[in-house]
Amino acid sequence: MGKSNGKTQSEAGLDLEHELPAGDGDDKPSADPVAATTGESADAELQKLKAERDSLYDRLARAQAEFDNARRRAAKEQQDFRDFAVVEAIKSLLPVVDSFERALQAKSDPADFRAGVELIYKQLQDVLAKLGVRPISAKGEQFDPHIHEAIEMVEAPDAADHEVLEEWQRGYKFKDRLLRPAMVKVAKNPGN
């Protein structure tokens, strides 16, 4: 038996040694003590590596679970903060709603009704200002595409080119963030 499956007899014998369990049933000491200790140390090394792998896998699973929990906790805290901010804004708007309800229930002449609505409007503007919302100035200003939206351009020889002639819908900013651009009519005066 010189060769078996492309291997020499000694190579085939080495494969058989690694496939056999440490004891073959007769509990005789191994004929090759170096091979026996090498096999035992390899088994010990393998067990050590398996234990280390299991430990690392467990640590990874725990770290992943902690990350998921932290992500969920942060998302919940953000949602709670948003809810708190919305609740505070709603609380500041409720007196305005109360004033509207009282105005709608009152039986008065149109002039008194208008005066009441103007007071409610002022009250609403005050609440928005406290929340950090401010109107964008438009009429008489130079058209700025960052804060104005041109709805119409008209020839106006008595106005400067790109001057805002009329505000159709007021624009608002929240601090430095644009909430809504002002919708405006803009002058077109090619002579200026």
Look up residue 143 and give its two tokens: 């058209």
Examine the pLDDT at 147 and tell me if it is beyond 80.
yes
Examine the pLDDT at 32 and tell me if it is beyond 80.
no
Provide the percentage of residues in the chain whose pLDDT is more than 90.
53
Q: For 3-17, 121-135, 158-172, which range has the lowest pLDDT when averaged over its residues?
A: 3-17
Look up residue 23 and give its two tokens: 């004891």
Q: CATH homologous superfamily for 134-192?
A: Head domain of nucleotide exchange factor GrpE (2.30.22.10)
37-59 tens-digit pLDDT: 677 888 999 999 999 999 999 99
pTM above 0.85, yes or no: no
Determine the Cα–Cα distance for residues 183 and 185; give it in Å rounded to an integer.
7
Residue with tokens 């010990």: 44
Beta-ladder partners of 123: none
121 pLDDT band (50/70/90 cuts)?
Answer: very high
Determine the Cα–Cα distance for residues 46 and 38; give it in Å rounded to an integer.
12
pLDDT given at position 33? 53
> First-to-last CA distance in the chain?
107
